[in-house]
Amino acid sequence: MNRIRHMIHDHQDAFGHAMYDYSLGKDGYEIVERDDGYCDISGGPRVYFSQYRDWPVHYKKAVRLAGGRVLDIGCGAGRIGLYLQADGFKVVGIDSSPKALQTCRKRGLKNVREMSITQVSSKLGKFNTLIMLGNNFGLMGDFRRARWLLRRFRAITKPGAIIIAESNEYTDTAEPFHLQYHRRNKRRGRMPGQCRIRIRYKTYITPWFDYLLVTRDEMKHIVEGTGWFVERFIDSAGPAYIAVIKRD
């Protein structure tokens, strides 16, 4: 699940070190710091290492839609890729976190590549399914880059391909700090759910990066005219949802 645009140095690989330590039986955690000073602790490695039986219902519904050759974008600790690989799928996992990829290899994910989402190209071959679970639609970064990436994804997919992408209805909150941040973004000409964040673990700190949360309507607006369309949404028990985005 790494969200950094370019390759990162070891002292910046907070997410990866948290995942690797957890794989060794140590404690791991992920502190998310936003550029307004707001900090929170994510679900952490326990979530990223979870097995299929423990996944929420909307994840189980989504992975059943995978077909053909699969690209797991932001593969993190490998939970989705390992499940699909065990089910007979040919999976390529990409992440810009070297330590996360080391964790994936340690856990048995066969084909992983160190690269950011913007480095995805035809060199990887053609895919039938792109996976962006773990809120990884956020890796799109911003409106313009999301549309650019969707067109780029079209070049690496086969006719009828799908993107299984998770995001979050960020408006479903009464938290004053979040509402204030949404208003701040609007004043700055950014999408309301466009967060500038970095990840901390022990002394490891990632560079700042943009992470995009979108409503269902915003998702449709981003996708329109890119050669893809939102086929349907899979709801969760909370604000998270999964979009099934199909190639025209």
Sign of CA dihedral 186, 35, 43, 142: positive
The CATH number of the domain where 123 resides is what? 3.40.50.150
Flag whether 236 is in a domain.
Answer: yes
User: Is 6 domain-assigned?
Assistant: no
Which letter does DSSP use for residue 133 in this model?
-
pLDDT exceeds 50 at position 3: no
- The set of residues, in sequence order, having a beta carbon less than 8 Å from that of 109 and lying 6+ positions away, is 75, 78, 81, 82, 85, 91, 93
- As a whole number, mean pLDDT of residues 22-50 equals 95
Is the pLDDT score of 91 beyond 70? yes
Q: Kindly state the average pLDDT of the residues 141-148.
A: 98
CA 142 to chain CA centroid, Å, is: 14
- The mean pLDDT of 222-238, rounded to a whole number, is 98
163 occurs within a structural domain? yes
The mean of the pLDDT values for the chain is 96
At residue 5, does pLDDT exceed 90? no
Is 188 within the bounds of a domain? yes
Report strand pairing: 228-235 vs 240-247.
antiparallel
Mean pLDDT across the stretch 136-145?
98
According to DSSP, residue 197 is labeled E
Total number of domains constituting the chain: 1
User: Does position 1 have pLDDT exceeding 70, yes or no?
Assistant: no
The parent domain of residue 52 ranges over 47-195+211-247
Residue 2 is predicted with a pLDDT of 36
pLDDT in tens, 190-228: 999 999 999 999 999 999 999 999 999 999 999 999 999
80 domain residue, yes or no:
yes
For residues 43-60, average pLDDT: 95
What is the pLDDT, as a whole number, of residue 6? 55
Cα–Cα distance measured from residue 96 to residue 247, given in angstroms and rounded to the nearest whole number: 26
Tokens of 35: 């550029």
Q: How confident is the model at residue 7 (pLDDT cuts 50, 70, 90)?
A: confident
- For residue 69, name the pLDDT band (cuts at 50, 70, 90): very high
Looking at residue 44, what is its pLDDT?
84
Residue 107 has pLDDT above 90, yes or no: yes
38 found inside a domain: no
Is the separation of the CB atoms in 32 and 130 below 8 Å?
no
Element (H, E) at 92: strand 91-95
Average pLDDT for residues 33-52, to the nearest whole number? 95
Reduce the DSSP state of residue 74 to 3 states and report it. Answer: coil
Residue 201, in any domain of the structure: no
Assigned domain for 83 exists: yes
